[in-house]
Amino acid sequence: MFEGFASAEVDTGEARIFIRRAGSGPGLLLLHGFPETHLMWRDVAPKLADRFSVVCADLRGYGKSSCPPSSPDHAPYAKRAVAADLAALMTKLGFSRFMVAGHDRGGRVAYRLALDRPDRVEKLAVLDIIATADAWDRADARLALGYWPWSLLAQPEPLPETIMAAAADAIVDNALESWGSSPAAFPAEARQAYADALRDPAHAHAICEEYRAAATLDRGHDHADRAAGRRIACPVLALWSGHGALAEWYAQEGGPLALWREWADNVSGGAMPGGHFFPEEASAETAAALRAFFQAK
């Protein structure tokens, strides 16, 4: 996997971020979701590296990146803190401005980065998410049962950490097989890497802190931005699973595009083949959609 990509660990001041990078041209940062690592981009990133300087990063607390100490309010794992890591990362790599795509949790980091640092982000792609506050404000039994990490991993420690570290393989298998994607999309090597990261107690705690931050601080940051009239300044591409939750749950609101247009003026996108993990399941289609958006003038 990632043939031709160089790996590195970059000190951003508060964390050490593991990356793989290749290519030349404009900077393009790719961010993963739960329970994945940067390996989710293994088939997408090489298809983009002929046009962009592609950087695939493990978020703080995930994969091979470090797990900074947390605090009672979970602030070190709020998307604002995680986004600051990545702004520092891209500065160290020589990119004053760059483009970013994020799937799932990575999408939440990506749009927070665009809101907090509009001077840095040229274009933004969010994959299979709506904004955190929008999701929590509309949460019902479907979210609680269908995407159980939102409620389970946000519970006080140590219960969710204990469950995750003790049952890492079962958690990965449940997520990859229950959220609409074909199990064949995930090779054994990727599954093992995902489970190994969850099994580590430090990473298990960090990931739970990220979910706790999402239920509290991240939601509050979104509400504060909305109250202040703060919007995403750059063009936004929203992609989602054609037969997943976003296509069904938010139809009354006009679907994902309508919800993202409450956050940005320039929003395009549409449904993709596959389930929640469509970047792994439909990598060619995902790469083509990202390439067309990011290279458009």
Catalytic residues, by residue number, are 104, 276
Query: In Å, what is the CA distance from 275 to each residue of 185, 205, 281?
Result: 10, 27, 8
Structure tokens at 71: 């605090």
Structure tokens at 145: 């049962």
Phi and psi at 238, nearest 5°, equal -110, 120
What distance in Å separates the CA atoms of residue 268 and residue 134, rounded to the nearest whole number? 18
Burial 219-245 (b: 16+ CB within 10 A, else e): bebbeebeeeeeebbbbbbbbbbbebb
Which residue type does 121 have?
V
Contacts of 6 (CB under 8 A, 6+ apart): 20, 21, 22
- Are the C-beta atoms of residues 70 and 82 closer than 8 Å to each other? no
User: Which residue is listed with tokens 């300087």?
Assistant: 53
